[in-house]
Amino acid sequence: MSKQSLDKNWLEWAVFAVGALLVGAVLAFLIYDGATLGDAPPDVEARTGDVRPSAHGFVVPVTIKNHGDLTAEGVTVEVTVKNADGMEEKGEFQVAFLPRRSVREGYVTFHADPRGGAQVEARVLGYEKP
């Protein structure tokens, strides 16, 4: 083999440098994340978004956020619509897996239009600690 075939050109060195930098950055992040990980239990919050009509009723988007340091599993969320005339309609859904410090979205459909002065509330009924 000649010496010229063993020498790397500038593109190979650039690719090597970028790859080494990426691997080093990921490794540094994982070490930092593992060292600063707390043990706060799941702290799950549910908030409703803007109601929008659909072909089969009205859809209420719900944002679920885990503020805690541990994962929540099987999160059950209930959404209640209380109309001005006193009628109440409920819906619920489950989020199978809600990692620490993460956000998920879910949707609940209702027959009645909750936009006309109705009170829309979302609450977390419960979750499991895996």
What ranges do the domains of the chain cover? 3-36, 44-128
63 CB contacts (<8 Å, ≥6 apart)?
46, 47, 48, 49, 103, 104, 105
In a 10 Å sphere around its CB, with 0-12 CB exposed, 13-18 middle and 19+ buried, how is residue 81 labelled? Answer: buried
> CA-to-CA distance for 99 and 84, rounded, in angstroms?
37
Residue 116, pLDDT score = 77
CB atoms within 10 A of CB 69: 15
The mean of the pLDDT values for the chain is 89
Superfamily of domain 44-128: Immunoglobulins (2.60.40.10)
Alpha helical stretches, state H, 1-130: 3-6, 10-36
pLDDT digits (tens, 9 = 90+) for 45-56: 999 999 999 998
pLDDT in tens, 10-27: 899 899 999 999 999 999
Averaged pLDDT, 122-127: 95
Q: Is pLDDT above 90 for 38?
A: no
Tens of pLDDT, residue by residue over 75-104, are 999 999 988 778 899 999 999 999 999 999
